[in-house]
Amino acid sequence: MATNEYLRKPEWLKIKLNTNESYTDLKKMMRSKNLHTVCEEARCPNIHECWAVRKTATFMILGDTCTRACRFCAVKTGLPTELDLQEPVRVAESVTQMGLKHVVITAVARDDLRDGGAFVFAETVREVRKANPFTTIEVLPSDMGGKLENLQMLMDAKPDIMNHNIETVRELTPRVRARATYERSLEFLRRAKEINSDIPTKSSIMVGLGETVEQLYEAMDDLRAVGVNILTLGQYLQPTKHHLPVKKYYTPQEFAELKEVALQKGFSHCESGPLVRSSYHADEQVKSAQQA
């Protein structure tokens, strides 16, 4: 083969499928309430572990169609038409039904909306908290156009963790992400801390897109400079042949070394591994952030 476009997946990326009763029940509930999860839409490799074993899920609100076409993401792209104002209540009901102690709420990018979806996002946080006062809530929004008033609206709802992903290193951002910029994401995280320093912030980086270790260290430093508390590091996996190819598969040992560096740089918690995604073991990360 002339290029590295289709690297063979290593043994450590093999996934054990588990479709037990918890998995099928959760899937039925999501369909019955017309809810979307990033677990399904983004083809997360941990869906069987989270749904069948941990019984956790990451809700994806504001529809299933993203206005951006990032070259790493499997979520469908187009012009959304729906804005379901009853969605926050249905998410809250689902959290109750599942008995979740921690919930992650993310969303497609809605550049078609003036507020970037901030109002529905904030309402979802409020409805979940009203129905589930002992459930901790993590939000994972896009940069919502980089507008301070949109971020303020979401921060006013007081999530327990504000998560916004830079996804990759500075040098690769123009090739990997659509419309979003590296600096705007850092500014988003900086302003979140400025609005409410008591709310832990979190970000995630995919590896294997062609970055260098030095660039990863620089990205860690950039995140720490804006006060980010929690970092997740995971292997990029090409969802379809139309997406960016994998340039390198990092070994479990390399992930362990990256985690050690991240903790040395001052992150209160770092989840680092081949199958780690932004929401992986998110319930455990809350405890680390609160103790920091």
What residue numbers does the annotated binding site for [4Fe-4S] cluster cover? 39, 44, 50, 66, 70, 73, 279
* Cα 262–chain centre separation: 18
Q: Return the number of other C-beta atoms located less than 10 Å from residue 172's C-beta.
A: 20
Instruction: Please give the DSSP secondary-structure letter assigned to residue 101.
Output: S
Half-sphere exposure in the Cβ direction for 286 (13 Å, CA): 17
Tokens read off for 264 = 């040395």
Torsion of CA 224, 214, 143, 34, to 10 degrees: -110
| Beta carbons within 8 Å of 12's beta carbon, 6+ residues apart | 251, 252, 274
H/E segment holding residue 60: strand 58-61
115, 146 Cβ separation under 8 angstroms:
no
Q: What is the Cα–Cα distance from 229 to 290, expressed in whole angstroms?
A: 10
How far is the C-alpha of 29 from the C-alpha of 32, rounded, in Å? 5
Q: In angstroms, how far is CA 170 from the centroid of its own chain?
A: 18
Question: Do strands 58-61 and 36-37 pair parallel, antiparallel, or not at all (unpaired)?
Answer: antiparallel
Strands 58-61 and 161-163: unpaired
Nearest to 150 by CA among 130, 126, 120, 127: 120
List residues forming the annotated binding site: 39, 44, 50, 66, 70, 73, 279
d(CA 120, CA 270): 30
Nearest residue to 139 via CA among 91, 92, 104, 101: 104
